[in-house]
Amino acid sequence: MYKLLFDLVFKKMDPEKAHHLAFFWIRLAASVPGLRQLVKLVLAPQDRALRTTALGLDLPGPFGLGAGFDKNGVGIDGLSMLGFDFVEIGTITGEPQPGNPEPRLFRLVEDRALINRMGFNNQGSERVAARLAARAHTSNTPVIGINIGKTKLVEEADATADYVKSAERLAQYADYLVVNVSSPNTPGLRNLQTVSTLGPLLWDVRQAADRATSHHVPLLVKIAPDLADEDIDEIADMALHLGLDGIIATNTTIGRDGLKESAERVEEIGMGGLSGAPLKQRSLEVLKRLRARTEGRLTLIAVGGIETADDAWDRIVHGADLVQGYSAFIYEGPFWMRRMHKGLSAHLRRSGFRTIAEAVGSAK
Ligand SMILES: Cc1cc2nc3c(=O)[nH]c(=O)nc-3n(C[C@H](O)[C@H](O)[C@H](O)COP(=O)(O)O)c2cc1C
């Protein structure tokens, strides 16, 4: 059904316009009294066995939506209605910004992949904080991660102040906070992954979050799949040293290896981060490396090329406490989350573990 809709409607549309249209429908459905509960009943049936705890948070399951789909936190309830166990909003920057010129989102259908160079188009942390404040007393709200990044016009040397500003404004609304230093579409952003820069940045964001709230808001860093293995180890060591709560691995890649799409087309698309199936293997490698280095002392959220319950289970047994997806949602549609949950339930039952948490890191 969704495949037909995708082939007949979405595939013929500009990908960003299709995103806006689909997201509009999701929000509309969620705003109709009674319909939200009905859709949730069908698409997000809850298997109590999948309930899990991570980052000190109780979640209905381990499977969330990766950052970038809902940059401004406008559709949280709609996305939860579709069955995501948690929703990461953002990336939100200190100041509002339009992002890069369009077109900036491209489908590689044969590869079940996307290339994007959105460039953190978002309304800025002040406006998003006001929106989150207005919904602060909503009941049944899902777990919300807030992902923050650097405003493009802010110099690299002033990056910390920009992150701190967002953290101060947003921490109180976050179930967890993510420092994004890994998007390829803001010039210089990924330089912030150098440990000598990243350490002080994360420390300052930690202090800012603590100033803004009386409770501990878990803080994570999101890293790129293009880091060298030694850099991954260094970031893991630093995260442990700083008392960070976790790491999200991974963001999109600047690599273009192994694509079925013609080299000419890939060249024509140009710069941007590649996501979806081609990212699967490297994302898993990065996860394994982080797990080996941190041995369960940090919460790991795996993202990158997760398309099936088998993929998600694979990440869990290799050390992911939680998993996220984005690109497969575009290709698989609104029934994807239901399939993922069913598959995860089946895996859990077959495994003999009682909970997801018991299965985490169990692969030998
Ligand atoms: C169109 C698009 C926009 C994205 N925007 C962001 C973003 O703003 N911040 C971020 O941390 N990651 C962003 N991502 C990366 C995803 O959260 C995720 O890490 C990546 O796509 C790999 O997962 P996937 O293979 O399941 O898509 C974006 C991805 C896509 C496809």
What's the mean pLDDT when you consider all of the chain?
Answer: 96
Q: Which amino acid is at 335?
A: F
Cβ of residue 114 lying under 6 Å from some atom of ligand 1:
yes
DSSP string, 96-144: -B--SPSP-EEEEGGGTEEEE-----B--HHHHHHHHHHTTT-TTPPEE
pLDDT at 113 over 90: yes
| 154-209 pLDDT, tens digit each | 999 999 999 999 999 999 999 999 999 999 999 988 999 899 999 999 999 999 99
Give the closest residue (by CA) to ligand 1 atom 6.
68
For residue range 254-264, list pLDDT tens digits in order.
999 999 999 99
Q: Please tell me which residue, 139 or 32, carries the higher pLDDT value.
A: 32
Count of beta carbons in the 10 Å neighbourhood of residue 60: 20
Distance of CA 355 from the midpoint of ligand 1 (Å): 28
Residue among 80, 183, 275, 327 flagged as catalytic? 183
- Name the band, by pLDDT with cuts 50, 70 and 90, for residue 137: confident
Mutate which of 114, 151, 275 to test ligand 1's pocket (most atoms within 8 Å of Cβ)?
A: 275
| Long-range CB contacts (within 8 A, 24+) of 32-41 | 36/77, 36/78, 36/81, 39/81, 39/82, 40/80, 40/81, 40/83
Q: Is the C-beta atom of 145 inside 6 A of ligand 1?
A: no
Clarify whether 183 is annotated catalytic.
yes
The pLDDT of residue 217: 98
For the chain, percent of residues with pLDDT exceeding 90: 92
Residue 33 has pLDDT above 90, yes or no: no
Cα of 256 from ligand 1 centre, angstroms? 16
User: 234: which 2 tokens?
Assistant: 């260094």
> 270 CA to middle of ligand 1, Å?
17
Could you tell me the pLDDT band of residue 7, with boundaries at 50, 70 and 90? confident
User: Is the whole-model pTM more than 0.95?
Assistant: yes
Among 318, 325, 337, residue whose Cα is nearest residue 252: 325
* pLDDT score, position 176: 98
pLDDT at 2 over 90: no
Is the minimum distance from the CB of 119 to ligand 1 under 6 angstroms? no
